[in-house]
Structure 1
Amino acid sequence: MSEHHPAEAEGPCHGLVSVEVHLHPDEARRALHQEALTGLCLHPKELSPKWLYDERGSQLFDDITRLPEYYPTRREREILHAHAYEVARLSGAVTLIELGSGTSEKTRLLLDALRATGSLQRFVPFDVSEPFLRRAAATLAHDYPGLHVHAVVGDFERHLAHLPRGGRRLVAFLGGTIGNFKPEARARFFQDVADQLAPGDGLLLGTDLIKDRARLFAAYNDSAGVTAEFNRNVLRVLNRELGADFDVDAFSHLAPFDEEQGWIEMRLVSRRAQQVRLPALQRSTVFEAGEVLRTEVSCKFRPRQVEAELSAVGLQLAARWTDRAEDFALSLAFKH
């Protein structure tokens, strides 16, 4: 299904917005049903982080990026401020594609740089939340007159084959979101991306780097409790979509660093023994006091590790930049 409509903007000149929908509410609901059936029977119980990002979750995450403890967004923005024009020059992209785009706030630095080089014609924000994506696309089209904003509603683990083709493309996967993939899934994802790229196309990848453990912990356990609210929001999603009766306040948020795996692990911890009904699945699930539901992992990287994983799928590193504190890295690689 593909829909096309003008951006909701005033004034004589604004960009065209087209919205391509590959993830419909019924399909997403079926996927959630299947994953809940499987994940809530595991030990420990586990759900994909994609279910954190309904409309409310997307807004909460946007709030997280502004917290003083949450450094990745600021560090990545610092790198883009310093090097966006170099990215634009090296990529020569006609189309910028952003996976997991959200509000595309940082991406404006890339859009500005690519427009300044004169190459940019199209921006493709790709995300799972259709309402959130539609608003963001309309805003971008208003702010960048003449730019074609071709939004794609989809799951980047399943729908990369629908990325629009034509001209030299740069795929941006920012924010350290690649850290949500465990190693085997990450290797598959990199291969899927590489398979969709033509020779000369590029991937701009943001990765959070291994650092002081106290700073890592603080970034995912903020004092204002916004990350806790974001994490517990997945229970509200389950209540809404599955008719479940999770007592949201009966779960605590905790996100420790797993030294062996090299990742932050977002957990919801049951404060008491409880039984949760899941009517849409025609079953219930039991939580013991202290039992964990894992909702996300966030892997942290060393620069050589990133280069090796990209090289394994035929993507050659052209440049890598870090912020001054060396907290975060941006890697630019091309398919040859």
Structure 2
Amino acid sequence: MAVYRNTFSDSITSESLTVSQETDPALIEEVRTGLQKTPKRLSSQFFYDAEGSRIFAEIMHSPDYYLTRSEYEVLDTHKADLLRQFTPDNRPFELVELGAGDGLKTKILLGFFEDQKADFAYAPVDISVDALEGLIVDIRKQWPDLPLNPRHSDYFSALEQLSDESDARRIVLFLGSNIGNFAPDDAIDFYRQLHDRLQPGDLVLTGFDLQKHPAIIHTAYNDRQGLTKAFNLNLLRRINRELDADFDLTAFDHYEVYNPETGEARSYLVSQKAQTVQITTLEMTVPFAYGEIIHTEISRKFTRAQIEQLAQQTGFTVSGWFTDGKGYFADVVFAR
């Protein structure tokens, strides 16, 4: 039995999730303020209710959505290299995954690390309790002895809680190009906060979608199956359900644009007519003009120079760079 499991298993195998059934206060505030801005805005972090998580799982398997396949290839090809990066001195380590979702790609690492009898635990963190509960059940079936410490939490609260529980090296996973959803200044702030909460020797493995032919990127966010459209519109369905609103989903359309000069893909919901929406819980009336937009998501694409600059600006060093065969995607190790 590995040292990590003997020493820390009592503190990291708790799988109880305490979740409020009330509407997320952050969603209330986002809707209240975001729909009064010009242009109107709603954060993509609220895409992931149960239905949103289900749709996104379909998106990841879409032939037009290259990101999942590309990162899967990176992790599968370089899993042994990553384990060597994570265990230079054979210390036990804890994989802390921010935004774990269904763990599809992470399971490549979990399975390999288990086969290699690595001394580690897994702490998935997600704001979607449905995704987290499903992930826990699935992992328990595949690796019943793997120490688990799931957190239904925001990222930094989870890191602060976990830092008090063991002296193992922390390997923070931030996969799936989630960093692309951050504006540039927010990305810098995010990594600076990570840096402040980690110890020397801790690592961050981040998935970055790299800049490539604009048509490939545009199609990924405007897929022929209409999954991204359904994913975007589901945000309005969630507001209808949780805040007693009356958005007519047939009166809004999904619109995606990619700007290769800035490397930004942006998603919008577009009002297809002049209309008024009532949000009863908030006692709000929201007018929409024909063609008016709600900005819902930004997905930035990166160059290697931008990634290296991000590490330098936030106190990290790049200690590992791994890409797929086409050079579409990179998983990059930042060392604290």
* Same fold, TM-score > 0.5, yes or no: yes
Structure 1 alignment gaps of length 5 or more: 1-14
How much has 1:311 moved relative to structure 2? 2.2
TM-score norm. by structure 2 comes to 0.90
How much has 1:111 moved relative to structure 2? 1.0
- Residues 89-133 of structure 1, C-alpha deviations (whole Å, 9 max, x = no match): 111252111111111011011112322443333111110111221
| Contact 1:20 1:150 (8 Å CA) reproduced | no
| Contact 1:45 1:294 (8 Å CA) reproduced | yes
Structure 1 partner of 2:125:
126
Change in 2 beyond 3 A, CA 1:194/1:48? same
Equivalent position amino acid for 1:329 in 2: A
How much has 1:260 moved relative to structure 2? 5.0
Secondary structure (helix, strand or coil) at the match of 2:150 reads: strand
Tell me, yes or no, if structure 1 residue 57 matches structure 2 residue 56. no
How much has 1:168 moved relative to structure 2? 1.1
C-alpha distance in 1 between matches for 2:157 and 2:33: 18
How much has 1:256 moved relative to structure 2? 0.6
Structure 2 partner of 1:191:
192
Structure 2 partner of 1:71:
66
Secondary structure (helix, strand or coil) at the match of 2:278 reads: strand
| Contact 2:322 2:330 (8 Å CA) reproduced | yes
How much has 1:142 moved relative to structure 2? 2.1
- Select which of 18, 21, 32 maps to 2:15: 18
Greater mean deviation of Cα atoms: 206-215 or 156-165? 156-165
Equivalent position amino acid for 2:240 in 1: N
How much has 1:160 moved relative to structure 2? 3.8
How much has 1:223 moved relative to structure 2? 0.6
Equivalent position amino acid for 2:54 in 1: Q
Secondary structure (helix, strand or coil) at the match of 2:212 reads: coil
| Contact 1:244 1:279 (8 Å CA) reproduced | yes
Structure 1 partner of 2:151:
152
Query: What's the Cα RMSD here?
Result: 1.7
Secondary structure (helix, strand or coil) at the match of 2:53 reads: helix
Tell me, yes or no, if structure 1 residue 102 matches structure 2 residue 101. yes
| Contact 1:89 1:117 (8 Å CA) reproduced | no
The percentage of counterpart residues that share the same residue type is 35
TM-score norm. by structure 1 comes to 0.90
Number of equivalent positions: 319
How much has 1:258 moved relative to structure 2? 3.0
| Contact 1:268 1:294 (8 Å CA) reproduced | yes
Structure 2 partner of 1:41:
36
Structure 1 partner of 2:203:
202
- Select which of 85, 89, 92 maps to 2:84: 89
C-alpha distance in 2 between matches for 1:235 and 1:38: 15
Tell me, yes or no, if structure 1 residue 292 matches structure 2 residue 287. no
- Residues 8-48 of structure 1, C-alpha deviations (whole Å, 9 max, x = no match): xxxxxxx9452354x6443x621111111111011111111
| Contact 1:16 1:146 (8 Å CA) reproduced | no
Secondary structure (helix, strand or coil) at the match of 1:148 reads: coil
Greater mean deviation of Cα atoms: 190-199 or 253-262? 253-262
- Residues 200-247 of structure 1, C-alpha deviations (whole Å, 9 max, x = no match): 111000010111111111000011101100110000111011111000
